[in-house]
Amino acid sequence: MKQYFKNTWEGLYTVFVGMIITFKHLFVPSVTIQYPSVKVPLPERVRNRLYVNMDDCIGCDQCARACPVNCITIETVKSLPEEDLGKTSNGKKKALWVTKFDIDIAKCCYCQLCVFPCPTECIYMTDVYEFAEFERNNLIFNFATLTADEAEEKIINYEKMMAEKEAQKAAAAKAKAEAAAKTKKEDNSTEKNNGKEKDSE
On the question of pLDDT at 98 being above 90, the answer is yes
DSSP, collapsed to helix, strand or coil, labels residue 153 as helix
Q: Does position 67 have pLDDT exceeding 90, yes or no?
A: yes
Is residue 199 over pLDDT 70?
Answer: no
- Is the model more confident about 33 or about 61? 61
First to last CA, the chain: 153
Mean pLDDT on 77-106: 89
Question: DSSP of 56-122, one letter per residue?
Answer: T-----HHHHH-TT--EEEEEEEPPTT----B-TTSPBP-EEEEEEEEETTT-----TTTTT-TT--
Q: How many Cβ atoms are within 10 Å of 120's Cβ, its own excluded?
A: 19
Overall size of the chain counted in residues: 201
Share of the chain above pLDDT 70, in %: 92
pLDDT one-digit tens code per residue, 38-54: 888 888 888 999 999 99
pLDDT at 32: 82
Reply yes or no on whether the pLDDT at 22 is more than 80. yes
- Pairing type for strands 96-104 and 140-142 reads antiparallel
Query: In sequence order, what are the residues at sequence separation of 6 or more whose Cβ sits closer than 8 angstroms to the Cβ of residue 157?
Result: 80
- Is 55 within 8 Å of 90 (Cβ atoms)? no
Check if the beta carbon of residue 95 is closer than 8 Å to that of residue 58: yes
Q: What b-and-e string marks burial along 136-155, b requiring 16 or more CB atoms within 10 Å of the CB?
A: eeebbbebbebeeeebeebe
Q: Which residues pair with 2 in a beta bridge?
A: none
- Main-chain phi, psi angles of 98, to 5 degrees: -90, 100
Where is 142: in which H helix or E strand?
A: strand 140-142
pLDDT 10s digits, 161-184:
888 888 888 888 888 877 777 777
